[in-house]
Amino acid sequence: MNVKHLAIIMDGNGRWAKARGKVRTEGHFKGVEVVRDAAIAANDLGVEVLTLYAFSTENWKRSADEVGYLMKLPALFFNRFLKELMEKNIRIAMTGEMDQIPADTAKVLTSAIEETKNNTGMVLNFAMNYGSQREIVLAARKYAEEVLSGKRANDLEVDQFDQYLMTSEFPPVDLMIRTSGECRLSNFLLWQLAYAELEFIDLPWPEFTAETLKERMEQFKKRDRRFGGVKG
């Protein structure tokens, strides 16, 4: 079984920095480089969609200084790596509510999406200002709207619900990796992870490498995914 959609929770930047006597933002800075390495590695391994949890709806609760720093990272990332992503035919996408992102950051994001929109290789999808419970509630509202307006009957089936989610253009997640040891989903892609394999690894995100990813993907391919049925 190949990994079509890989999702990653990039945790442990602050912890990594603290252990080295550095400030949290230095962990985030190092983390940006690792995003590039992970994207190139995933692309080389034949992944179709890589979704990275960059900024959750809960992350607004961090200090204004830290949030301000984080919001500069997309520009830093594209200044350093957009050329290379273009060469690799990678397309940038976003999942989340963009209207609350600061205007200058939002501009950087939309222009990267625009510049890469005709690329046909891997999709590098950043979950930004994203929370899965809210995504599901918004989907329910959208569906209710269609029923109320008479556009469709009240006959929704499980396999149709993903059409209303923010990730409707992507296949379900095959493999979800969370770094830095915590065994939680933290409101990330709850619907989309229904049948995914979950891997929690001890390394903090700044220490994640292409080699780690390759290992985990190979492990995944060896395992048996049965979808609750019996393998034929």
Measured CA distances, 85 to 15, 40, 137 (Å): 29, 8, 34
**Is residue 134 within 8 Å of 57, Cβ to Cβ?**
yes
Residue 90 binds to ligand V0D (criterion: CB under 6 A): no
Instruction: Please give the Cα distance from 4 to 153 (Å, whole number).
Output: 32
Looking at the Cβ atoms of 164 and 177, the one nearer to ligand V0D is 177
Three-state SS at 76: helix
Task: Read off φ and ψ for residue 193, nearest 5 degrees.
Answer: -95, 5
Q: How far is the CB of 139 from ligand V0D (least distance, A)?
A: 23
Which residues does 223 contact at the CB level (< 8 Å), separation at least 6?
Answer: 197
Looking at the Cβ atoms of 100 and 133, the one nearer to ligand V0D is 100
**Is residue 27 within 8 Å of 63, Cβ to Cβ?**
no
Question: How buried is residue 115: exposed, middle or buried, by Cβ count under 10 Å (0-12/13-18/19+)?
Answer: middle
Q: How far is the CB of 22 from ligand V0D (least distance, A)?
A: 14
Residue 213 binds to ligand V0D (criterion: CB under 6 A): no
Looking at the Cβ atoms of 35 and 139, the one nearer to ligand V0D is 35
**Residues annotated as part of the active site:** 11, 59
Binding mask 123-162 for ligand V0D (x = CB under 6 A): ---x-x----------------------------------
Q: How far is the CB of 84 from ligand V0D (least distance, A)?
A: 13
Three-state SS at 75: helix
Residue 196 binds to ligand V0D (criterion: CB under 6 A): no
Closest by CA position to 49, among listed 134, 140, 109, 126: 126
Q: How far is the CB of 198 from ligand V0D (least distance, A)?
A: 19
CA within 13 Å, CB half, 154: 4
The residue range among 69-77, 115-123, 137-145, 186-194 that interacts with ligand V0D, by the rule CB under 6 A, is 69-77
Taking CB under 6 A as the criterion, the residue among 17, 42, 73, 189 binding ligand V0D is 73
Taking CB under 6 A as the criterion, the residue among 22, 62, 71, 156 binding ligand V0D is 71
Using CB under 6 A, list all residues that contact ligand V0D: 10, 13, 28, 31-32, 35, 54-55, 70-71, 73-74, 77, 92, 109, 112, 126, 128, 205
